[in-house]
A and B are shown apart, each in its own frame.
Chain A
Amino acid sequence: MSTLRKKKQARRSGLASVALVVFGLLLTGGVYAVFNSTSADADTSTYSAAQIEEGKNLFVANCATCHGLDLAGTNAGPSLIGVGAASVHFQVGTGRMPMANSAPQAPVKPVVFTEEQILSLAAYVASISPGPAIPSDKYLDANGEAANGGELFRINCAMCHNVAGAGGALTGGKFAPALDGVAPVHIYEAMITGPQNMPVFNDMNISPDDKRDIITYLKYMEANAGPGGFTLGSLGPVSEGLFVWIFGLGGILGIVVWMTSRAN
């Protein structure tokens, strides 16, 4: 017994634990650096000077009124320093920007710019100061693990977006939008930029592969929406209750009235 304990004590020498901590720190720091550098250099390398120039012209004409010529924001709109290409691509690509009128939050509208123009705008904003980049296609193929994505979705997203992605209410007239029909790239960008009232889910929080799984899950749900029939908006017991009163009981009452009516 005592020899065993001695052996154990010997194995856990003070120096070893210091070494372990140092190794751990190095590893985390190193991995962090690798991640950071990849997302940073992915940002600037993909855009040409001509694109940035076109983006600048578009920005000055369409966005600067609210966001300021120097992107620093005005009373009407927030600063765009550090929002990154992903944020621009999401906001403009879903039609949320340019905003038509002030509201609790920017609603989805028909998209104003072409994809090429949006990329130019994104390039210009990213060239002023770097931020999250437009994700690479390998995370957007919706070909990951749906089960993992589903669990992550329920834990991280469902409290606002509803388990079936049908959307939900937030405070003060704000809301989490429904997620069906949203392009994978926009889902990814929303997670890394946190538009409107959404929190940012960075790569430390949900890894790019996990984000891919979440997209996979959402796309699976979109393709296989109702194994049990019409989903009634996937809103849960409220729509089921309304349905049973109006169409269930209403339908049977129609039959009953017909059954008990006398031929005139």
Chain B
Amino acid sequence: MSQTTVEPERGKLDRFSRAAASYVDDRTKIGVLVKEFGRKIFPDHWSFMLGEIALFSFITILITGVFLTLFFDPSMAHVEYEGSYLPLKGMEMSAAMASTLDISFDIRGGLLIRQVHHWAALLFNAAIGLHILRVFFTGAFRKPREINWIIGFLLFVLALVAGFTGYSLPDDLLSGNGLRIIDGFIKALPFVGVWISYLLFGGEFPGDDLVGRFYSLHILVVPAVILLLIGIHLVLVFLHKHTQYPGPGKTEKNIVGQPILPVYAAKAGGFFFIVSGFVFLLGGIFQINPVWNYGPYDPSPISAGTQPDWYMGWTDGFLRLVPSHWEFVLWGYTFSMNLLVVYIVAGIFLGLVALYPFIEAWITGDKREHHLLDRPRKAATRTGIGAAGVMFYAVAWAAASSDLIATHFHLSLEGVTIFLQILLFVGPVFSFIIAKRIALALQKKDREIVLHGSESGYIVRLEGGEYVEVHNPIDDGLRWKLLSYHSDYEPWMLRPNAKGKIGFWRRTRAALSRFYFEDRIEPVSQSELDAARHDHKPELNTGH
């Protein structure tokens, strides 16, 4: 501010811009907003950019999507394809499919935009997934950010819906097969399934209505809700301030980083162009969803290697993993457990993901606010649980490609399925144990480094003949980072309630709390640190 007063007048243009600025400010008070907004500090770390990747790929999806709506015809009316793709010429298909082919082959730039739209959708979902994992493993979901975790979870689910409704629109063979599976899922619902299916498809599958209905969901309802939730998500990030990793000078009460204006805004703006540019590169070089290969939807054929887009893959994987013939008839209704099990398992999994912040807070009894993140090694049990969840998801995901695993690794399809069925249960247990042990071992290593310094690689022989390795003392910054393990974690004590009774829930909570905290590395105490400093000085001197 002091600079602007010192600078001399710069003529009419300057006066005009100042007048315009004060005109706008007098009427909107936008200056207050800009000042507040611009002074917000954001910390710099690569893992904080994952949400931005998702946001910017979403913007890319919106922009390319607008282009596609100009040429796409969301109708299932029968037409004869007369475009320029030879192997489909003269074929009967829906107007949706024909217009998708026109976008691909007869509209300038259409294929590029279609492919960018699809690649960006895949990237959007992948970035959301990775963002959720970052938030989980660093404990960023803890108070006060639980609500934002729920909003993020809803965004994750809506991204699936957006993707599914999108790739169903071209009405090609692949998307039709996917819809048939959804139809099966719906019809498997006891009592109401058939009614809902007829309602959705406007009669018996596939009907003539679905593309139009999915179109309004895909281009209107779902993106609007996503945009709204993104808005709330960002406002909450703003209100809570961003979290930061522990480090020198970083506390629960401050935030170390750079202001939005000018640094962060410029960085984020540039990053948008990097993300969208990268996606355009993918769309320009790599083919995606070649609907012309699949041809128009026809309920009779199905292709080998029919899979949904990757983000729906895990549900398809459950479908392939459920043992066949699990069904029974009750009161004249068929209960097909092949599909109902998928509802149950996927529902429980998603429920646990959504409610994890509340579950953990209940177990740990931790009601404090957290603005400093945990390094994943610090919360070993949580890291183990996360690894188990990732494994569970990954096995289901891999199961969706069981046929391709079989052909590409020369295995038997049944063998792959049985292996994955076992791995679905065994894998998460091993992942939990291994990840937790690695986290604890890393804590131990950190403790060792704090107390004895880092290994130098020099081996010294002492007068008595003993060999020792010289340890270099670490700098204060690193020590701060490594000492950021507060000893505030301890099992929740089992105490009787006001009536002097110990109920079932209290017992459960105490047991879970013990499970959560029983394995831990004691943090370095001040006296230990002092003692270590004292011990090591003479040894270091002999080393050099």
Contacts and interface: CB of A to CB of B under 8 A. Distances in A.
Interface of A: 104, 146-147, 149-151, 154-155, 158-164, 166-173, 175-176, 217, 220-221, 226-232, 234-238, 240-245, 247-249, 251-253, 255-257, 259-262
Contact of A238 (B85, B275, B400, B414): B400
Choose among B115, B300, B412 the residue with the greatest number of A CB atoms under 10 Å from its CB. Answer: B412
17 contacts: A146-B86, A146-B87, A147-B87, A155-B298, A161-B304, A163-B295, A169-B404, A175-B406, A220-B87, A228-B104, A235-B305, A235-B404, A236-B305, A237-B307, A248-B282, A261-B46, A262-B44
Contacts of B127: 249, 252
Contacts of B119: 244, 248
Given A150-B295, A172-B414, A158 B304 contact: yes
A121 B50 CA distance: 64
B49 interface: yes
Contacts of B126: 244-245, 248-249
Contacts of B271: 256, 259
B205 interface: no
Contacts of B285: 229-230
A188 to B, nearest CB: 19
Interface in B261-312: 267, 271, 274-275, 278-279, 282, 284-290, 292-295, 298, 300-311
A45 to B, nearest CB: 36
Given A147-B90, A171-B414, A232-B286, A260 B45 contact: yes
Interface string B347-365: 0000000000000000000
Given A227-B85, A238-B305, A252-B53, 13 more contacts: A151-B295, A220-B86, A229-B115, A229-B287, A231-B290, A238-B400, A240-B122, A240-B310, A241-B310, A244-B282, A248-B126, A249-B127, A262-B44
Contacts of A171: 412-414
Contacts, number: 193
Contacts of B90: 147
A255 B274 contact: yes
B122 A163 contact: no
A238 B401 contact: yes
Interface of B: 44-46, 48-50, 53, 85-91, 104-105, 111, 115, 119, 122-123, 126-127, 130, 173-174, 267, 271, 274-275, 278-279, 282, 284-290, 292-295, 298, 300-311, 313, 400-404, 406-407, 410-415
A247 B89 CA distance: 35
Contacts of B286: 228-230, 232, 243
Nearest to A173: B412
Given A245-B310, A259-B267, A173 B298 contact: no
Contacts of A255: 274, 278
Nearest to B89: A147
Contacts of A235: 305, 404
A262 B46 CA distance: 11
A151 B413 contact: no
Nearest to A149: B87
Q: 8 closest A-B pairs (Cβ-Cβ)?
A: A168-B304, A241-B310, A228-B287, A173-B412, A169-B403, A244-B122, A163-B303, A146-B87
A103 to B, nearest CB: 9
Nearest to A262: B44
A115 to B, nearest CB: 29
Contact of A260 (B49, B304, B310): B49
Nearest to B398: A238
Choose among A154, A231, A259 the residue with the greatest number of B CB atoms under 10 Å from its CB. Answer: A154
A252 B267 contact: no
Contact of B274 (A234, A237, A252): A252
A237 B305 CA distance: 9
Contacts of B301: 154-155, 158-159
B278 A251 contact: yes
A110 to B, nearest CB: 18
Contacts of A149: 87
A118 B412 CA distance: 32
Contacts of B44: 260, 262
Nearest to A146: B87
Contacts of B111: 227-228
Nearest to B43: A260
A147 B86 contact: yes
Contact of B407 (A168, A232, A236): A168
A176 to B, nearest CB: 6
Nearest to A251: B278
Nearest to B126: A249
Nearest to B292: A227
B46 A257 contact: yes
A256 B53 contact: yes
Contacts of B282: 244, 247-248
Nearest to A150: B87
A198 to B, nearest CB: 13
A242 B305 CA distance: 14
A154 B403 CA distance: 19
B287 A232 contact: yes
Nearest to A176: B304
A167 B304 contact: yes
